[in-house]
Structures are given as C-alpha cells and as structure tokens.
C-alpha cells in the first residue's frame, strides 16, 4: 500500500515528533541542544512557521507549530534535519543517518487540543523521570510560558493570550495547567494521532477539514468495499 503524504494545511497547529534512529541519542552535549534551537529559530523564520511549544529530549524532540504558507512545514523540517545531521556528525566524528525515517506529525483541533498539546510537550521530561518539575528542565518552552525566561523561538498562540489579561495571570494559569497535567485519554490521543498521521479532532472538525484537502484524514475501517463479486449473500 502506498504511503500517504503528510497531512499539512496552512494556518492549523501541527504536533511534530522527530526521533533518533533506533532510539539513539540525538543530543550528547549542551552545544548540541543549542545548535538545534538555533536551527529551529533560523528555519522557522525563513519558512514562516510559528513555533508555539517544544521540548528537546535525549533521543527525540516534540514541536507544536503552525505553518503560515503552503509546504512551509516540510521545507522547514527538511532544512533542520539535514543541517543538524551534518553538524552533529562533524562534531562527534561519525557518519551515516541520525533520524528514524521522516518526522511524524498530526494536525490538531485548536480549541480542543492546543493547550493540552502544549502541556503534553512541556511535561515530557517529568513523565520520563528526567526531572521532578517541568521548570527544572532547560530544553523546553515551559520556562517561557511561566515567566522564567524569554525564549526567542516561541510565538505564543492566541489561546495562550486568552489565559489571562496580564502576563502574570497568563503565566500563573499556564503553571497551573502544568501542575494539573493532562488526562491519559488526551495523552494517548495526541501520541497515537501523531505517530499515525491522522487528524485529531471531533467529527465536525474533521469533516470541515476534509473540504480543504484530498488527503484522507482518518483511518478507514478494515476490509474492502462491497462489489458485485463480494457482496454478502442473504440468509
């Protein structure tokens, strides 16, 4: 069966996962993490992609972003992936591939999943037991949204601005979101949709979205359509 093209539509938020090949480390030093952040900044600006949240983990990374032009997302990810491998291989005297194939992504329903996806991304280091609290991890967007630092990579989504009327109110609301976490159902839905490449949202959202693309958005049921040769015989 032919592989479906990635689902990418301008103006919608996308959750992206990029993994190291065979779960190998893609970051070995502090300089590696910083190089990736620099590349993401440069290429997101060059290709007009807004990055709302991110986390860089030892052997993979997550991004939440919105492309502002057609093909902006795949062009950005291709440029980041190629440049980083060249730099990583040179710095660590290695050759060959670094990534586990192409990046995985899903398009999400903004009002239903965007804030949950931000929390999902920023809480990754806690779930992985790398740190006790999200603010203890240096390589994520959490510190930006809770007022601990200003991160040039981040373009806040309008839903974040809606968390409060002042910076302090928004920061406090996002910190509370981090403390509350997300449900197991939300976590599973975000993970499964991203790895499979299907759109994530309710039926109305998917139906409206389907009007904008010929690419299939949800998994079809197993089996083949009935034809004259395989229609069931009445009892």
Q: pLDDT tens, 102-121?
A: 999 999 999 999 999 999 99
How would you classify the pairing of strands 49-56 and 104-107?
unpaired
Q: What is the largest distance, in Å, between two alpha-carbon atoms of the chain? A: 70
CATH code of 14-207, in short, is 3.30.70.1290
Token pair listed for 60: 């993979």
pLDDT per position as a tens digit, 117-169? 999 999 999 999 999 999 999 999 999 999 999 999 999 999 999 999 999 99
Long-range contacts of 126-134 (CB under 8 A, 24+ apart): 128/57, 130/57, 134/178
Distance CA 130, CA 58 (A): 10
Say if residue 221's pLDDT is above 70.
Answer: no
Q: Where in the chain are the domains?
A: 14-207
């Amino acid at each position: 069966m032919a592989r479906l093209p990635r689902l990418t539509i301008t103006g919608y938020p996308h959750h992206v996962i990029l993994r190291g090949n065979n779960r190998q480390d893609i970051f070995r030093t502090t300089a590696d993490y910083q190089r990736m952040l620099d590349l993401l900044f440069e290429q997101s600006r060059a290709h007009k992609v807004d990055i709302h949240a991110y986390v860089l983990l030892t052997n993979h990374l997550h991004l939440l972003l919105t492309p502002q032009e057609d093909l902006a997302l795949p062009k950005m990810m291709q440029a980041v992936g190629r440049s980083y491998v060249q730099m990583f291989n040179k710095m660590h005297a290695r050759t060959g591939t670094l990534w586990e194939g192409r990046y995985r992504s899903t398009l999400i329903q903004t009002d239903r999943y965007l804030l949950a996806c931000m929390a999902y991304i920023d809480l990754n280091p806690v779930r992985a037991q790398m740190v006790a609290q999200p603010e203890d991890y240096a390589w994520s967007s959490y510190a930006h949204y809770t007022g601990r630092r200003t991160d040039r990579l981040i373009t806040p989504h309008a839903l974040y601005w809606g968390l409060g009327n002042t910076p302090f109110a928004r920061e406090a609301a996002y910190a509370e979101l981090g403390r509350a976490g997300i449900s197991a159902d939300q976590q599973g839905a975000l993970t499964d949709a991203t790895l499979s490449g299907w759109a994530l949202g309710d039926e109305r959202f998917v139906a409206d979205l389907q009007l904008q693309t010929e690419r299939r958005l949800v998994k079809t049921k197993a089996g083949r359509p009935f034809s004259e040769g395989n229609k069931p015989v009445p009892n």
